[in-house]
A = this chain, B = another copy of it.
């Protein structure tokens, strides 16, 4: 018999998602989340830096998926193509089965600017990691940052489309189109 059931962190994250979803972010106290997970408030703050962070677990793994994509791009690929490959590979895990969960979470995020800013910070971290990976491939600045940030822009725009009501297309498909569209936009701009 163990004193504590395993995976306190995951239990807390799950309880937070459920409570935020059910009764709202502001209306949920950390003490409530902890109690719902059979732990104390103090323990919550040992696992998560703050109340919002409980919704943002797995960031390292998320970023790693993109970085793995960088490695998969052929050596001859242009910086922009490397970024595009990274985005497409990193988005692979978000399959149709995961959409309901992503949607539930996104609805909570969209309802509170405090949570949206945290999301933006995480995406900025992704862009930074991507840029670093490009620099490691001898891409210079500001090309690396521009390519990385543009890739994340495509990811974000496509992500919104993916979770939009009525959408049936896959995230990766939407991203392919968005990359093409971005290319067209820039082309038209340069060759009128």
Once the chains bind, are B117 and A185 in contact (CB under 8 Å)? no
Once the chains bind, are B117 and A182 in contact (CB under 8 Å)? no
The answer, yes or no, to whether A71 is at the interface (CB within 8 Å) is no
Measured in the bound complex, the distance between the Cα atoms of B128 and A116 in whole Å is 13
Once the chains bind, are A80 and B189 in contact (CB under 8 Å)? yes
For the residues of A in contact with B, the DSSP-based class is helix
What class of interface size applies to chain A in its complex with B?
35 or more
Once the chains bind, are B121 and A113 in contact (CB under 8 Å)? yes
- Which residues in B have their C-beta under 8 angstroms from that of A121? 113, 116-117, 120
The answer, yes or no, to whether A91 is at the interface (CB within 8 Å) is no
Once the chains bind, are B154 and A80 in contact (CB under 8 Å)? no
- Which residues in B have their C-beta under 8 angstroms from that of A113? 121
The answer, yes or no, to whether A181 is at the interface (CB within 8 Å) is yes
The answer, yes or no, to whether A32 is at the interface (CB within 8 Å) is no
**CB interface residues, A 113-166, toward B, < 8 Å:** 113, 116-118, 120-121, 124, 142-143, 145-147, 149-150, 153-154, 156-158, 160-161
18 A/B residue pairs, CB under 8 Å, sorted by A: A78-B185, A78-B192, A80-B185, A80-B188, A84-B189, A113-B121, A117-B118, A142-B158, A142-B178, A143-B181, A143-B185, A146-B153, A149-B153, A149-B156, A149-B157, A150-B186, A183-B189, A187-B187
* Extra A-B contacts (14), CB below 8 Å, given A142-B181, A146-B178: A78-B189, A80-B188, A81-B189, A116-B121, A116-B124, A142-B157, A143-B185, A145-B160, A146-B157, A146-B181, A146-B185, A149-B156, A150-B150, A150-B182
